[in-house]
Chains A and B, each alone.
Chain A
Amino acid sequence: MLVTLAQAVINGLLIGGIYALVSIGVTLIFGVVKIVNFAQGEFVMIGMYLSFFLATRLGVDPLASLLLTMPALFVIGMLVQHFLIRRVLALGDMPQIFLTFALSLLLMNVVLLLFSANYRTVQTHYTEAALHLGSLYVSVAKLIAFAVAMALSAVLWVFLRATDLGKAMRAAAQNRDVAMLMGINPDRVFAVAVGVALALAGAAGSLLMPFYPAYPLVGQVFVLMAFVAVVLGTLGNVTGALIASLMMGVAESLGIQFVGADSGLIVVFLMLLATLAFRPNGLFGGWTR
């Protein structure tokens, strides 16, 4: 019984690492650019397809393809910010929501048109490998994914705190006008923020490929998790998103183990409900009125 519990917790933490990459991206964009990226999951999906094609056409291992997907998505992010997001920043909620929402729909359906709805998988030599710690079973692919996810999060943390650009991002997040007065170019900062967020999504995609199938709607699964984690971890709070994502991963895993195989969504919803009911500002949330 305890073993089952421990197993579920471990599985939950491991997948929670992936959720963290997605939700950190969402919360970063929200904190800095003040816009919710509904298409974040679709960029994970794109990362997955990129890795898939690199693996099947060029024989590149998905983990190695990180080196390609991350920069590629970083550039895509900067383009998205420059050509799309920038145009709606002054317009208010509706255009901002529906722009990224439309982007999400567009990406999903274009991929569907181009590559059909078939599941794409990549088999690596470590896809089936596992570590056995006592009676616990730890998938190597998931463990690597988790480790890389945590490493990337740590790098981001350092970036935000120690580099000028990172500090500029945090400044712009806190107060755009003052940041501008101090010579920070908001467009540049926003472009980097979106670029970083999408790079993280791309990383998630590559890390997922060894053990998860790619298909046009795969992003939807992760984005809902990510959004709840962002709310739970307090909007704009990167560390909060990380912690909340791990919590959600564990909660989902426990739900699947002890309640039922398709209880994942119910668990997510219950967590959202509980957050809204008791801590609407999130776990690390600021001042209530």
Chain B
Amino acid sequence: MIAVAVLAAAAIALPLVVANRFAIDIAIRVLLFAFIGVAWNLMGGYAKQLSLGHAAYFGLGAYTSTILLIRFDVSPWLGMLAGGVVAMLASLPIGALCFRLRGPYFAIATIATAQVMMLLFLKFRDFAWGAEGTTIPNLGDDPLMMQFDGKAAYYYIALALLAVGLFITHRIERSWMGYYLVAVGEDEDAAEAIGVNALRIKRQIYMISAFLTALAGTFYVQYIYFIDPNTAFSFNISVEAALVSIVGGIGTLWGPVLGTVLLETLSAFLQSWLGSGLGGVQLTVYSLILMAVILWRPAGLIGFVSDAWKRLAPAPAAPVEARDG
């Protein structure tokens, strides 16, 4: 708990101490993608439903709030919630179809879903601007419309989102749902034999995961003032959501955060070192790291952190997690 408090204090203090805009930008990216990773982790880490199509919900969130903003002058704060609800509702039919498949075929079905979403939005010029996308009007400093001068405010919103995501994960982890999720993830049939309605649990966690991912989508649009289908439903987002959790520690609370910190800072280094000229470098490095983790530490790198931590300060384990040997 002390560690968390220290981390939180440091996180809150960061924008006050760091003035470099580039650094703050990286920090915001880290917070945002950690949040997306945390949202993915609920589904993919605990329940082992490995989705590679979470960008579908990211995009739905982004487009919902943008459409409401530009067409109906609705504040993005409300738009964010609306986007979450839209994503939640979308996750129901998508889940109904995709949950018929297990394992890798579930993953493929989710990829297809996000692709189709992208295609639909590429075609819908009437209410969604098609392939060119749109910018959102720059209203200057307008907190009620989620626009701010300077980056600090965005930083704190992203931090708040991450905090919410971590809090929700923490609560679920230690509730009956946490047990059921891990049971379904470990052995769905054995779980059903002891009374777990696997399909219902999967549906429920999918809704939560979709909702949170959509919030990230809205934030992203508000931050970069632009949206188009290729960005909003980008496969890279789906990949990163899964990647940070796997590299950091799949099915753990802090795994996605650790993974994002590692990968995003590495990516920032690569960019400043090599410039953005060399396409493919980032993903090459990411895929090598992913392969290395899977071959040598499939439980994720958080194992190193928690081993070190245990030596310093032994604490009771979360009920659902057994320590790796």
Contacts and interface: CB of A to CB of B under 8 A. Distances in A.
Contact of B103 (A36, A87, A101, A109): A36
A152 interface: no
Interface string B44-63: 10001010100000000000
Interface residues of B, number: 37
A35 B103 CA distance: 10
A277 B101 CA distance: 11
Interface stretch (A89-97, A121-129, A166-174, A241-249): A89-97
B294 A88 contact: yes
Interface string B242-272: 1000100010000000000000000000000
B97 A273 contact: yes
B283 interface: yes
Contacts of B109: 272, 276
A36 B105 contact: yes
Find the residue from A102, A110, A117, A231 having the highest chain B CB count within 10 A: A102
B71 interface: no
Nearest to B239: A105
Contacts of B103: 36, 93, 97
B112 A98 contact: no
B112 A269 contact: yes
Given A36-B103, A97-B103, A266-B119, 14 more contacts: A84-B291, A91-B298, A94-B48, A95-B294, A95-B298, A99-B294, A105-B283, A106-B284, A109-B281, A112-B280, A113-B279, A224-B112, A228-B112, A231-B108
A109 B278 CA distance: 10
A215 interface: no
A102 B116 contact: no
A74 interface: no
Contacts of B242: 98
B104 interface: yes
B107 interface: yes
Interface string B98-137: 1011011101110110011001000000000000000000
A98 B259 CA distance: 15
B164 to A, nearest CB: 26
B33 interface: no
Contacts of B287: 102-103, 105-106, 109
Contact of B108 (A91, A95, A96, A227): A227
Contacts of A105: 239, 283-284, 286-287, 290
A93 B50 contact: yes
B288 interface: yes
Given A105-B239, A105-B283, A269 B115 contact: yes
B295 interface: yes
A70 interface: no
Interface string B226-252: 000000000000010010001000100
Contacts of A235: 105
Contacts of A117: 279
23 contacts: A36-B103, A36-B105, A84-B291, A84-B295, A88-B295, A95-B294, A101-B52, A103-B291, A105-B284, A105-B286, A106-B284, A109-B280, A109-B284, A112-B279, A113-B280, A216-B280, A224-B115, A231-B101, A266-B119, A269-B112, A272-B112, A276-B109, A280-B100
B116 A265 contact: yes
Given A112-B279, A231-B105, A276 B116 contact: no
Given A110-B280, A113-B278, A102 B290 contact: yes
B100 A276 contact: yes
